[in-house]
Amino acid sequence: MNTEFDSTADRVVIIGGGPGGYEAALVAAQLGADVMLIEQNRCGGSAVLTDVVPSKSLIATAEMMDEIERSDGLGIRIENSEDTEAGARRVTADLEAVNKRILSLADAQANDIYEGLIRAGVKAIQGKATLAGRDQVHVVESGGTEYTLEASTILLSVGAHPRELPTAQPDGERILTWTQLYDLDELPEHLIVVGSGVTGAEFASAYRALGTEVTLVSSREKVLPGQDEDAADVLEFVFRNKGMNVLSRSRAASVTRTDDGVEVVLADGRRVEGSHCLMAVGSIPNTEGLGLEEAGVRVSESGHIVVDGVSRTSRAGIYAAGDCTGVLPLASVAAMQGRIAMNHALGDAVQPLKLRNVASNVFTAPEIATVGFTQQNYRENPTDIDTVMLPLDTNPRAKMLGIEDGFVKIFARRGSGSILGGVVVGPRASELILPITMAVENRLTVDQLSASFVVYPSVSGSLTEAARKLHRHL
């Protein structure tokens, strides 16, 4: 069936229902546009179904296991049951139950997003969409209905998928991508994680806390290349201290199935055997076959859609948001890109995306949260920037909680004292980074931060203490 829909002055067609897409749809609907959102799977996209929501739910379980492990230092004793070997942990993770809960949470979140879109007046369509020109989108619904939509504005928010190597093809059973982990019903005996970026580090941390033996294969000198070096040092120390086998400067050449597991062959000839292997070697944008070339939308060599600060592509009227743009692979950034795009397209007040103000978090144990200026910026401008790093083990509340690893770091402009950025390493660092983010966003000074009252005792007290130390340095 082919149908032509008449164009409208403010018809917005959004391809992709992830954070960039559904947040854009809500903004466009609020501004009075006729909004149609097309998603192949379910609203929320991979962020909700196979990526952010599931992984962070798994990590939440791992965090609880980690806290139980640390409880001995607080004087809490978990007695061994009669049928447990002496010295063995009585607390274990039931991965089948864990994954069932994870998928249930993802399902509920997808439903909530869909219902929110419908209440806002968005027409949510399940199907595949491709560009058919500057202002046309061809749609094939999941039921087979086929038609072309005319639009005044088009937003592309199609996300990305895990990169696969020809010498390490995932099979969904032993060799896995991060989208396939939730099909496991038993904890891997020995999980080999190939890739020490954010995804690899997070899953390595989580599965080690759940009780799995973990080997992390890192092609770089340190885990988390690109992150704050002091933070990476702390995390690698914690990983090794918890019994994780971290293979630095070790590139995986191939991964193959064995009779009862997997074998990873490294570039230098070494071989590592395990029960399962997680491939965490980056992602590829879902831009192939989208009709970008026909529509005149420019892409980079990596296949990412090129956008400017207000999410415009090279083709007027077509915008893009999220991981398919390669700007910054964070759900929060995708959502902001989508909102900015709709505000710009529909004539509302808008400011370009400010990447300097983006707060991000690595959900390992301990967590690593960052915003603004980095250690690299400091090295490049040592006469203009000052910094202080304050270990958390000096904080009274951290001592009470048994927190031994972590720190607070603040970067400030020398002279004016304006806060340029910061790093927090520790439990719930994702919550502690907010005051620094607000300081960066609002150009507060270290004196203004240090003059703010904090609860005593509290871990957040380290933020104001670091600010006071910076005042003495400026």
Judgement on whether residues 237 and 277 belong to the same structural domain of the protein:
yes
Is 54 exposed, middle or buried (CB count within 10 Å of its CB: 0-12, 13-18, 19+)?
A: buried
Number of residues assigned to the chain: 474
| 153 and 40 in a common domain | yes
Q: Is residue 300 part of a domain?
A: yes
- Within 8 A by CB and 6+ apart from 137, the residues are 13, 15, 38, 129, 130, 131, 148, 149, 151, 154
d(CA 449, CA 464): 6
Whether residue 210 is found in the same domain as residue 264 = yes
Residue 2 has what pLDDT?
42
Q: How high is the pLDDT of residue 85?
A: 55
The CATH number linked to 449 is 3.30.390.30
Annotated binding residues for FAD, written as ranges, equal 56, 323
The rounded distance, in Å, linking the Cα atoms of 359 and 199 is 17
The pLDDT value recorded for residue 1 is 38
196 shares a domain with 127 = no
Do 36 and 127 have their domain in common? yes
- Note the pLDDT of residue 21: 98
Q: Do 187 and 109 lie in a common domain?
A: no
For residue 5, tell me if it sits in a domain.
Answer: no
Residue 85 lies in a domain: no
Q: Which of 226, 260, 281 is the last residue of a domain?
A: 281
* In a shared domain, residues 240 and 297: no
**Residues tagged in the binding site annotation for NAD(+):** 195-202, 282
Q: Are residues 26 and 144 in the same domain?
A: yes
Structural domains of the chain, count: 3
Sheet of 367-372, strands arranged across: 359-362, 367-372, 419-426, 407-413, 385-391
CB burial of residue 211 (10 Å; 0-12, 13-18, 19+)? middle
Q: What is the CATH number of the domain that holds 31?
A: 3.50.50.60
User: Would you say residue 106 lies in a domain?
Assistant: yes
At 4 the pLDDT is 42
Last residue of a domain, one of 249, 281, 313: 281
Count the neighbouring beta carbons within 10 Å of the beta carbon of residue 70.
16
Residue 81 domain-assigned (yes or no): no
| Domain membership flag for residue 256 | yes
Same domain, 238 and 349: no
Whether residue 142 is found in the same domain as residue 274: no
Task: Answer whether residue 135 is part of any domain.
Answer: yes
What range defines the domain where residue 206 resides?
175-281
Residue 83 maps to a domain: no
Which helix (H) or strand (E) segment holds residue 235: the answer is: helix 229-241
Is the same domain home to 40 and 149?
yes
Bind-site residues: 56, 195-202, 282, 323
HSE (side-chain half, CA atoms, 13 Å) at 307? 28
Give residue 3's pLDDT. 41
pLDDT along the chain (474 residues), means of 10: 48 97 98 97 94 94 87 80 53 92 96 98 97 94 96 97 96 96 95 97 96 96 94 97 96 96 97 98 96 96 97 97 96 97 96 94 97 91 93 95 95 95 97 97 96 96 96 64
Instruction: Mark whether 346 and 416 lie in a shared domain.
Output: no
Q: CA-CA distance, 280 to 123, in Å (whole number)?
A: 35
pTM here is 0.92
Boundary of a domain, candidates 231, 257, 281: 281
Closest to 177 measured CA to CA, from 322, 281, 49, 52: 281
Interhelix angle 95-119/52-70, nearest 10 degrees: 140
